[in-house]
Amino acid sequence: MRYSALSLFANALSGHKKWPEQWPDAAPKPSYDVVIVGAGGHGLGAAYYLAKKYGVTNVAVIEKAWLGGGNTGRNTTIIRSNYLYDESARLYDHAVDLWDGLSQELNYNVMFSKRGVLMLAHNVHDVQSFQRHIHANRLNGVDNQWLTAQQAKAYCPPLDISPTARFPVLGGALQKRAGVARHDSVAWGYARAAAALGVDIIQNCAVTGIRRGADGSVEGVDTERGFIAAKKIGVSAAGNSSVIMEMAGLKFPLESYPLQALVSEPIKPVFPCVVMSNSVHAYISQSDKGELVIGAGTDQYVSYSQRGALHIIEHTLAAICEIFPIFKRMRMLRSWGGVVDVTPDRSCILGKTPVPGLYVNCGWGTGGFKATPGAADLLAYTIAKDEPHAINAPFTLERFTRGRLIDEAAAAAVAH
């Protein structure tokens, strides 16, 4: 069923009791052309693009828990592409290009809101670093501009720019094309569109092994619900990527860390954009429900626990209260954690693996949500063509052997 004003009106007449289910919960078939491991935005999107752009419809997306319940449902929904290096600028800007028409393409409102992302500079080093970013971005055709402290205040009125502030604001880098989207809708929209094209979405079905034939290539996956044969396997398992890759005998340059976020009680619209402060480990926006959505830095140790320590978010909130004194008396409603897989150079790994038929999309670290449509599209291309697209060719696993790292670690700092 196509969603439209007309379908909304028709269903209103029947009291919204006759909406059909958005996608069926499929049972696994014995074999598929392609199996995608992980039903987050990246995995579901890859299945969608495989079916839509490359005509590969005999696809299953298998998920150990529920769809979109990992990092897709746990992030702070920030979308931006103002990365320093040429390779990253192309990669993330490709994603933003796809975000632009996504609601129309999926016939599902992902609520992409280009409200602008403002990154605050608190000291001379920040100013110099952001100016460099802005110039690099403009050479790459990525929008990014410098705001003085007064211009930043005009763009985001709750900001405290007084010279005596604990974290003085010397200015900021603003990407106007950046913004936020509704994270759950992204997973649901891709799931519905992929299922409509014949993709099976199989939840509560953890992968327990990857079977390989005599020639080393993949034969399929062992799961909690039996063996599923597959000619090709795409792994998009975020924090658990190391675990899945080990099933195929591969060791990866990844470490998984908890990353926390929290939301406040809902209030009336007061915060018009996204503000990030890399120096003080905090980023903040206001959701359409009215909650302030606040993100912190990662916890310090490797963990798969999907929760973090209180002192991390305490530090973040202390910074938020200094930069936005009007929020000092706000109460926080919920906090949670996700497990993010971090590479040594803070850039993703997206491409083929040494195992024939096994493809990987991992290492997005703390910033995977913004890349969702781009990563999905490029993973689908890589699987369909058995070679990486020009955009993700620099992001393959070989860079750690060849030494050609894309070092966004300092460039992206901690906050995404």
- CA distance linking residue 394 with residue 402, whole number of Å: 11
Q: How many other C-beta atoms can be found within 10 angstroms of the C-beta atom of residue 149?
A: 18
CB of 258 to another protein, least distance (A): 8
* Amino acid letter, residue 205: C
Among 46, 142, 254, 383, the residue binding another protein under the rule CB under 8 A is 254
Among 63, 87, 200, 255, the residue binding another protein under the rule CB under 8 A is 255
Among 123, 132, 224, 301, the residue binding another protein under the rule CB under 8 A is 301
* Amino acid letter, residue 7: S
What strand order describes the sheet that includes 282-286?
Answer: 145-147, 171-175, 117-121, 274-277, 282-286, 292-298, 255-264, 332-342
CB of 310 to another protein, least distance (A): 6
- Chain positions 74 to 93 lying near another protein, rule: CB under 8 A, are none
Among 1, 139, 302, 410, the residue binding another protein under the rule CB under 8 A is 302
What is the DSSP code string of 11-41?
Answer: HHHTTT--PPPSS--PPPPSEEEEEEE--SH
CA–CA distance from 21 to each of 3, 4, 41, 47, 179 (Å)? 12, 16, 19, 19, 30
CB of 251 to another protein, least distance (A): 5
- CA distance linking residue 56 with residue 58, whole number of Å: 6
CB of 345 to another protein, least distance (A): 9
Among 150, 209, 344, 387, the residue binding another protein under the rule CB under 8 A is 344
Contact call for residue 264 and another protein (CB under 8 A): no
Contact call for residue 243 and another protein (CB under 8 A): yes
Among 31, 393, 400, 407, the residue binding another protein under the rule CB under 8 A is 400
Backbone φ and ψ for 262, nearest 5 degrees, come out as -155, 160
Contact 404, 394 (CB under 8 A): yes
Handedness of CA 239, 240, 244, 245 (dihedral sign): positive
Judged by CB under 8 A, the stretch of 10-18, 143-151, 248-256, 282-290 that binds another protein is: 248-256
- State the number of CA atoms in the 13 A half-sphere of 311 facing the CB: 2
CB of 209 to another protein, least distance (A): 15
Contact call for residue 303 and another protein (CB under 8 A): yes
Contact call for residue 104 and another protein (CB under 8 A): no
Contact call for residue 170 and another protein (CB under 8 A): no
* Amino acid letter, residue 134: I
What is the DSSP code string of 132-168?
Answer: HHHHHHHHTT---EEE-HHHHHHHSTT----TTSSS-
Judged by CB under 8 A, the stretch of 19-27, 104-112, 303-311, 374-382 that binds another protein is: 303-311
Judged by CB under 8 A, the stretch of 60-68, 165-173, 215-223, 251-259 that binds another protein is: 251-259
The size of the interface with another protein (CB under 8 A), counted in residues, is 25
Give the list of residues 6+ apart from residue 408 with CB closer than 8 angstroms, or none.
83, 84, 85, 88, 345, 346, 347
Beta partners for residue 260, in sequence order: 337
Contact call for residue 304 and another protein (CB under 8 A): yes
Helices (H), 83-148: 86-100, 102-106, 124-139
Contact call for residue 390 and another protein (CB under 8 A): no
Judged by CB under 8 A, the stretch of 22-30, 145-153, 193-201, 300-308 that binds another protein is: 300-308
CB of 235 to another protein, least distance (A): 14
Nearer Cβ to another protein (179/258): 258
Nearer Cβ to another protein (156/406): 406
- Chain positions 270 to 289 lying near another protein, rule: CB under 8 A, are none
Helix (H, G, I), strand (E, B) or coil at 360: strand
User: Which residues would be at the binding site for another protein (CB under 8 A)?
Assistant: 240, 242-243, 251-256, 300-305, 307, 309-311, 341, 344, 400-403
